[in-house]
Structure 1
Amino acid sequence: MSTDYQTGREGEFTYRGYTLDELQEMELDEVAELLPARKRRSITRGLSTEKQKLLEKVEGRGEEETANNPIRTHLRDMPVLPSFVGLTFAVYDGHEFERVEVAPEMLGHYLGEFVLTRTSVEHGQAGIGATRSSKFVPLK
């Protein structure tokens, strides 16, 4: 699996040949051209009003402010944009809000990819009404 980001000679982050500073100065349409097809299509077809409100919140906040008070959102399908780097989001996983600190390597992914919605199941012993064969629990 190839990655679209890499570190330059000085250890500087680049995404498809552009540094993070260059990406942050670009317009949304220019950044969309660099993203994978699914994310590019969702941006070019127009962001929903909820996603536009999230972008406005991001533009009005600084890194220090979001570290203490993260931006809460239910928008798991929002693509990670260069303006999100360094900010902290609280993304809803269906039960509670999980904190996500956006790193440069997250560009081109969705916010929801970094917050799992399912937990692993740890089964206990068989309960009342279980069949005789399922009541057997091996001794440890």
Structure 2
Amino acid sequence: MSQEYRTGREGDEFTYRGHTLEELQDLELEEVAELLPARKRRSIERGLTIEQQKLLEKARGKDEQETANSPIRTHLRDMPILPEFVGLTFAVYNGQSFERVRVEPEMIGHYLGEFQLTRNSVEHGQAGIGATRSSKFVPLK
């Protein structure tokens, strides 16, 4: 993979496929779409849904200070993260509650839902009341 297509930091400055964050924020949506991975690029080329367009307009109207206190609430886990979202805080619905996601530059090109998991890991405890004799057995370490 050539240097111009890498995502990462050169020195202390963030770059995404050879463009700094400021350059990315100055680009039009179609120009940013050309830099994104295929699935996100295609979804933007087909046209954002009405809900996604509303979220984009909401994000354009807010600044970092406003969203720190009251994040932008959304159910749109399939919204691609654009350079305009960097610094904003979203409250993404995970199926039970709205959890905060602060967008960092490294998140560009991913979906909002990737940063808010919908399932918790299960940690089984000891057998409860009414359990069978075999299931009550807890091995000693």
- TM-score where L is the length of structure 1: 0.92
2:38 match: 37
Cα drift, residue 125 of structure 1: 2.0
1:64 match: 65
CA distance in 1, matches of 2:130, 2:30: 60
Cα drift, residue 128 of structure 1: 4.2
Aligned residues: 139
The unaligned stretches of length 5 or more in structure 1 are none
CA distance in 2, matches of 1:20, 1:58: 17
Superposed counterparts of 1:1-140, under 5 Å: 4-9=6-11, 11-139=12-140
Deviations 1:93-138 (A, max 9, x none): 1111111110000001111111111111121222344332212123
CA distance in 2, matches of 1:6, 1:116: 24
- TM-score where L is the length of structure 2: 0.91
Deviations 1:61-96 (A, max 9, x none): 011000101000010111100000000001011111
CA distance in 2, matches of 1:22, 1:125: 56
CA distance in 2, matches of 1:6, 1:97: 29
Alignment RMSD? 1.9
Cα drift, residue 139 of structure 1: 4.5
The unaligned stretches of length 5 or more in structure 2 are none
Aligned to 1:50, the other structure's residue is in SS state: helix
Q: Could you tell me the percent identity over the aligned residues? A: 76
CA distance in 1, matches of 2:49, 2:91: 19
